[in-house]
Amino acid sequence: MVPTTRTARLAAGLLAGGLALVPLTGCSFTSNDFSCTTSSCTITLDGAGSEVEVLGTTVTLGSVQDGRADISVGGASVSCGQGESVTAGPLALECTRVTDDAVELTATLN
């Protein structure tokens, strides 16, 4: 029975290790910079039309004008300025930096 116990422990360890990686797979990019922790992602959208898939939702930069970024989040449109927080679809976004043609966001699940 030792091999069965050893196999069961190995299988349990591999499953636990795989589950530990699941939060890290919440973000995948198509372009742009991003980094994630287990509970949030920081993304930079640079240029109109740039997008990233974060926490299972596509976030797209429409435009930046007068210090405000127009952002599409899973089809919902929002606008934010530097230091503002908005909610769109399943995400809460904080616009941490807005430049002439880019926005840096921190995204968390609602």
Tens digit of each residue's pLDDT (9 = 90 or more) over 31-72: 447 788 777 889 999 999 999 888 888 999 999 999 999 999
At residue 26, does pLDDT exceed 80?
no
Q: What's the pLDDT at 3?
A: 44
Give the C-alpha separation, 109 to 56, whole Å: 10
Q: What's the pLDDT at 27?
A: 54
In sequence order, the β-bridge partners of residue 40 are 108
At residue 94, does pLDDT exceed 60?
yes
Of 77-81, 83-87, 88-92, the one with minimum mean pLDDT is: 88-92
- DSSP assignment of 34-100, as one string? EEE-SSEEEEEEESTT-EEEETTEEEEEEEEETTEEEEEETTEEEEEETT-EEEETTEEEEEEEE-S
Model confidence, pTM: 0.69
pLDDT band at residue 19, thresholds of 50, 70 and 90?
very low
Is residue 73 within 8 Å of 59, Cβ to Cβ? yes
